[in-house]
Each structure stands twice: as structure tokens, then as C-alpha cells.
Amino acid sequence: MPLFIIRRVLQAIPVIFGISLLLFFMMHAIPGGPLAMYEHQPGMTKELLAQLKANFGLNEPLWVQYWKWLGGAVTGNFGYSYTYGVPALHMVLQRLPATLELMVSSYIIAVIISFVIGVVSATKQYSFTDYTLTIFSYFGIAMPTFWVGLMVLVIFAADLHWFPAGGMSSSGIGFSLTDRIWHAVLPVSILAIYQIAHESRYVRSSMVDSLGEDYVRTARAKGLKNGKVVWKHALRNALLPVTTVMIMDGAYLFGGALITESIFSWPGMGRLFAQAISTDDYPVIMCEISLLSVIIILANILSDVLYAYMDPRVRYD
């Protein structure tokens, strides 16, 4: 097992190298390059710019530049935000807790509901309930998250005034848990919908497979209660393929958070990214993409290792 983990980590190295090349290419494709910030400053002359270029090492061969950039990125130096002048990494990390709050709560809710929906659909295959839930998931997958968010905002916040229209908490009342939850209801549900629609399908098909296995019939034959057979015997084996999907979904949830945060003005990483896009704040953009790539690679490794750990059939020699 430790060997498998080490090998899996080693395999990630060329991937990380590839991503860093991609990001480096993006840095250079930026209009004005890394000097873009200085170009438009008052009193900037061509000579000064050339001087800066030399100072920054931008006239060195590309591979030297790449090496230096990589060195900076590894030590967390992603440059300074063009808009706020503070370190990009600092800004992104500051926004991380808000995003995590949104993601973790919707993730937990989505996983629980997906399991319930998936298992119920599978045990009542081809029933009315099954068809209804299938249609729901078809709709959930096809509906663009941002549009649902917008509609929900119109109905529940603007029209009915049941929930606040955005933000993380009401201003000027200090910390209050109910207030925080009240603010989180809409964005968390929106973020969870797609995940539920997506994952409940996996749970369903995986459960359908495992309910058809011989050992499930054996368990039934020896007189076990149906609930126990379904939730303990069958579900345990159905978990295996689903876990991988769920871990990867967790990493991709950042994409959903980007959209949800923009709609509900949630002060997280996603909204920061959307703002950085609209103000061409390249260091922040690059920093965030780099961080998320690392997170996704780690999630990838984690899901592989977990899979190997849970499934004795996977050989890790």
C-alpha cells in the first residue's frame, strides 16, 4: 500500500509539470506580460520599462524564466494583485473559508440526499417513484446552475422575501448562527442540486447492480429484514464505484461555487475569481488556478488510493 501511494504521487509529477507549463504559457500570453502592471503607470518611459524587464529577468532564455517562475509559485509567490496591491495568495487564502463553508455544507447535504434518492430509486426500480426521481435528475443535470440560481433569487428573495438576496450575513448585528444559516440556504441548495442530480444516478445504477448479486439473494433467503439487506449488505458494496465519483465531484464543486458565489454575492474564492476576470487581475487569476489544480490533483490521488484501499481486487504492486 505505501508503495502504491508513492507510485501514485510520483505519477502526478509529470502532470504537475504539464499544468505548470500551461500556466506559464498563460502568464506569457497576458497582454503586456508580467510587466502589464507597470506599463500604464504615469511617468513610465521605454528606457525604464527595458530596465524593469532586465530587473525581472524577462530577457533571459525562456527556460530560465520558467524555472524562476516555478520557484516563485512553489514558495507561494504568485505576485501582487493589480487591483489591490497585496499578495495574490494572501487574497485567495483570505476568501477560502467562505467558499469552504458553502462547499462543505452543500457537499454533505448533497451526498446524504443522493444516497437516499439513489437507494430508493434502485429498490423501487421502474416504479413511479423511480421515474419521477429519474426525471428530476435529468432536469437537474440539464438546468444551468446560474439560471436556476437567478430564478430562485427572483422567487424566494426578491418576490417572497423568505431569504436574503445575497451576502453571507446581515451587516451590523454581529455574529449570529441563525442569520448565517438563513443566508446560506439558497446558495447551498443551488450548489447541491447539480451534485444530487449527478450523483444519485451513480448511486442508483451501482445499487441496481449490487442488489442483483447472489449474496444479496442469500441474505434475503436466510430471512434478514429488507432494510438491513438494502442499507447494510447491498449499499456497502455499492459504495465502491460511487466514492471515486463523489471525491472528484468535491473538487469540481469549486466550479459550481464560482457561479453560485457570483449570483449570491457570497464573498468567497469564486466571486474573487469572477471579479479578477472582470478587472483583468492576472496574478489573482493565475494564483487561484494554480491552487485549484493542486487541490484537484490531490483529490485524484486520494480517490485512487481510497479505491485501492476499499477494493481488495485492485492490485497495487
Partner 1 sequence: MALATEPKVTSQTTSTGRPKQPGVFRRIFRKKITIVAVAFLVIVALAAIFAPFIAPYKLNSPDLMAMLAPPSATHLMGTDDVGIDLFTEVLYGGRVSLTVGLLSALVAVLIGGTIGSLAGFFGGWVDEILMRLTDVGLSVPSLFIILGLTAVLGPSPVTIVEVISLTSWMYPARLIRSRILNLRTAEYVMAARMTGCSSARIIFVHIVPNAISPLIVNATLLVGQAIVLESVMSFLGAGIQPPHISWGFLLNQAQSYVTNAPWLAIFPGLMIFLVVLCFNVFGDAIRDALDARSA
- Reduced to 3 states (helix: H, G, I; strand: E, B; else coil), residue 208 is helix
Question: Which of 255, 309, 311, 314 contacts partner 1 by CB under 8 A?
Answer: 255
Give the orientation angle of helix 269-278 with respect to helix 282-310, to 10 degrees. Answer: 140
In the complex, what is the shortest distance from the CB of residue 198 to partner 1, in angstroms, rounded to a whole number? Answer: 9
Q: Which residue reads 500570453 in cell numbers?
A: 29
CA angle 282–286–292, rounded 5-degree value? 145
Nearer of residues 57 and 255 to partner 1, judged by Cβ = 255
Question: What gap in Å lies between CA 148 and CA 142, rounded to an integer?
Answer: 11
Site for partner 1 in 267-306 (CB under 8 A): 273-274, 277-278, 280, 282, 285-286, 288-289, 292-293, 296-297, 300
Question: Which of 6, 7, 9, 22 contacts partner 1 by CB under 8 A?
Answer: 22
- Closest alpha carbon to 209 in 122, 120, 313: 122
User: Do residues 164 and 82 lie in contact, with contact meaning Cβ atoms separated by under 8 Å?
Assistant: no
Binding segment for partner 1 (CB under 8 A), chosen from 39-47, 78-86, 148-156, 231-239, is 148-156
Site for partner 1 in 166-225 (CB under 8 A): 201-202, 205
CA distances from 179 to 10, 26, 90, 174, 212 (A): 46, 41, 27, 10, 47
Q: What is the DSSP string of 262-281?
A: HHTT--SHHHHHHHHHHTT-
Binding segment for partner 1 (CB under 8 A), chosen from 80-88, 112-120, 176-184, 248-256, is 248-256
Site for partner 1 in 49-78 (CB under 8 A): none
Question: Which of 154, 181, 310, 314 contacts partner 1 by CB under 8 A?
Answer: 154
What is the total count of residues that contact partner 1 (CB under 8 A)?
Answer: 51
Nearer of residues 8 and 68 to partner 1, judged by Cβ = 8
Phi, then psi, of 9 in degrees rounded to 5: -65, -40
Nearer of residues 87 and 140 to partner 1, judged by Cβ = 140
Nearer of residues 188 and 197 to partner 1, judged by Cβ = 197
- Closest alpha carbon to 207 in 316, 85, 117, 289: 117
Helices (H) and strands (E) in the chain, counts: 13, 0
Task: Burial-class residue 205 by CB neighbours within 10 Å (0-12, 13-18, 19+).
Answer: middle
Nearer of residues 123 and 262 to partner 1, judged by Cβ = 262
Q: How far apart are the first and last CA of the chain?
A: 8
Phi, then psi, of 78 in degrees rounded to 5: -105, 15
In the complex, what is the shortest distance from the CB of residue 201 to partner 1, in angstroms, rounded to a whole number? Answer: 6
User: Do residues 269 and 256 lie in contact, with contact meaning Cβ atoms separated by under 8 Å?
Assistant: no
Question: Which of 254, 260, 264, 268 contacts partner 1 by CB under 8 A?
Answer: 254
Interaction between residue 152 and partner 1 (CB under 8 A): no
Question: Which of 5, 58, 143, 306 contacts partner 1 by CB under 8 A?
Answer: 143
Question: Which of 50, 108, 151, 181 contacts partner 1 by CB under 8 A?
Answer: 151
Q: 87 pairs with which residues across the strands?
A: 80
Nearer of residues 163 and 254 to partner 1, judged by Cβ = 254
| Contact residues for partner 1, defined by CB under 8 A | 14-15, 18-19, 22, 26, 29-31, 138-139, 141-147, 150-151, 153-154, 158-159, 201-202, 205, 245, 248, 251-252, 254-255, 258-259, 262, 273-274, 277-278, 280, 282, 285-286, 288-289, 292-293, 296-297, 300
